[in-house]
Chains A and B, each alone.
Chain A
Amino acid sequence: MDKIPILRMGPFLLVTIQVDLYDRLALNLEADLVQTVNKTNAKGVLIDISAVSIVDSFMGRIIGNIAGMCKILDAETVVVGMQPAVAITLIELGLPLKGVHTALDVEKGMTMLRSMIDLGTDDDDQEGSEDDHIID
């Protein structure tokens, strides 16, 4: 059975979807991602769908699920690379994917994740610097 590889980049996880996901694969991905976020304590998930040409309501729901589940585990999700035809179809289908962050490409997505993480962990930063002091 195929598995979609999940790459780790520091506090972030990167998933590149290369094929039009069939249902079982999509559900596996949902479960895998959530497990991995938990295991690695990831703060952000980037899903690259630039190679995906069809996103139907099922797939849309999976994406929404992933974003929701990760948020509960304190990780933000950004979907990048949506093709124009897919965007138009999703709007016409009636699936505006509210609550899911999106960016044009991986680079912009990473910038977005970093800014979201920074804003959310001001306390952590302070703690960090205190720790540094203590170590010194």
Chain B
Amino acid sequence: MQLLQKKKKNILELWMKNQLADEGLREDLISNEDLRSQSEELINALVGNLSLSSSPDLESDEWGPVVEILGGIAITRARQGFSPRETGNFLFSLKEALLVVLQQEISNDPQSLFEESLKINRIMDNLSVVTFETFIKGREEVILRQTDEIAEISTPVIRLWEGILALPIIGTLDSARTQVVMENLLQEIVSTGSSIAILDISGVPAVDSLVAQHLMKTVSATRLMGAECIISGIRPEIAQTVVHLGIDLSNIITKSTLASALAYSFKIMKLEVKKANSLQVIK
């Protein structure tokens, strides 16, 4: 492994040549200078480690610095929008450079060349796995952040009338979001003192059994608190799903549109909508 240390420069040059020649090079996301300094940092750490130990166990402390540098590179790539393949190729082209240089140095001893190549192979493969894992974590963080943002803006509460709330839901309902909607609805009922909440799901394309359960829980909790919850805007596809899933909605008040839910609410609140007297003289 000592010879790799000596040949660090060669490895770097070969690696850079490979990377720059690759058509997947993302000069728009990272400049060639930055790419070079990233590569140099990694090579220094990696070759340094290889000369100390060729143990492929990446969990050991000695690999710490390399794993850290690699992790940092992977997360940055994820955030910047590099594809998994581009990030992977970063390492694969390094592996190639290492093996080529190794071959140049140990050209006379095939057995030794094979052994050393195998070691390098194992280490680089493990490092690739670390890279991918970290890359995925970086992507997940972006998704989580976006999910939070969406959850915040997506369920307005509308005061349709005194004592009547409407909550139109738009978009896919997953279990987590339904819980948030439920808590919101109940809280709004308390803070506005409304006796009826209309949950309109005409903007929801589909529900699964978990979401349906949460919706039923919402209705039950509303009733337990002394108010009423009407579900409106159930699409025919959802009606089919619900029946196929064997969910019993007989205890829940459902209306096909928000308008009919409102009319129903007026009825139970004993409110009438009448045409005003048209014989009014305006002076």
Interface residues of A (CB under 8 A from B): 79-80, 82-85, 87-88, 90-92, 96-97, 101-105, 108-109
| Residue of A80, A82, A83, A109 contacting most chain B CB atoms (<10 Å) | A82
Alpha-carbon distance A84/B227, docked complex (angstroms):
11
With A104-B189, A104-B195 already in contact, the answer to whether A80 and B217 are too (CB < 8 A) is: no
Interfacial chain A residues near B217, Cβ < 8 Å? 88, 91-92
With A84-B186, A84-B187, A88-B217 already in contact, the answer to whether A96 and B224 are too (CB < 8 A) is: yes
Q: Is there an interface contact between A104 and B193, defined as CB atoms closer than 8 Å?
A: yes
B278 to chain A, nearest CB (A): 35
Q: Is there an interface contact between A87 and B193, defined as CB atoms closer than 8 Å?
A: no
Interfacial chain A residues near B221, Cβ < 8 Å? 84, 87-88, 90-91
Alpha-carbon distance A83/B227, docked complex (angstroms):
12
Q: Is there an interface contact between B225 and A87, defined as CB atoms closer than 8 Å?
A: yes
The interface bits of chain B over 5-46 (1 if a CB of A lies within 8 angstroms of the residue's CB, else 0) are 000000000000000000000000000000000000000000
The interface bits of chain B over 204-229 (1 if a CB of A lies within 8 angstroms of the residue's CB, else 0) are 00000000000001001111111100
Give the residues from 221 to 247 in chain B that come closer than 8 angstroms, CB to CB, to chain A: 221-227
- Interface residues of B, CB < 8 Å — how many? 17
Q: Is there an interface contact between B220 and A91, defined as CB atoms closer than 8 Å?
A: yes
Q: Is there an interface contact between A108 and B224, defined as CB atoms closer than 8 Å?
A: no
B68 within 8 A of A: no
B183 within 8 A of A: yes
Residue of B nearest to A101 (CB): B226
Q: Is there an interface contact between A102 and B225, defined as CB atoms closer than 8 Å?
A: yes
Interfacial chain A residues near B223, Cβ < 8 Å? 102
Interfacial chain B residues near A88, Cβ < 8 Å? 182-183, 186, 217, 221
B129 within 8 A of A: no
Q: Is there an interface contact between B227 and A104, defined as CB atoms closer than 8 Å?
A: yes
Interfacial chain B residues near A90, Cβ < 8 Å? 221, 224
Interfacial chain A residues near B226, Cβ < 8 Å? 79-80, 82, 101-104, 108-109
The interface bits of chain B over 187-207 (1 if a CB of A lies within 8 angstroms of the residue's CB, else 0) are 101100101000000000000
Q: Can you list 14 residue pairs at the A/B interface with Cβ under 8 Å?
A: A84-B189, A84-B190, A85-B183, A87-B221, A87-B222, A88-B186, A90-B224, A91-B217, A97-B224, A102-B223, A102-B225, A102-B226, A104-B227, A108-B193
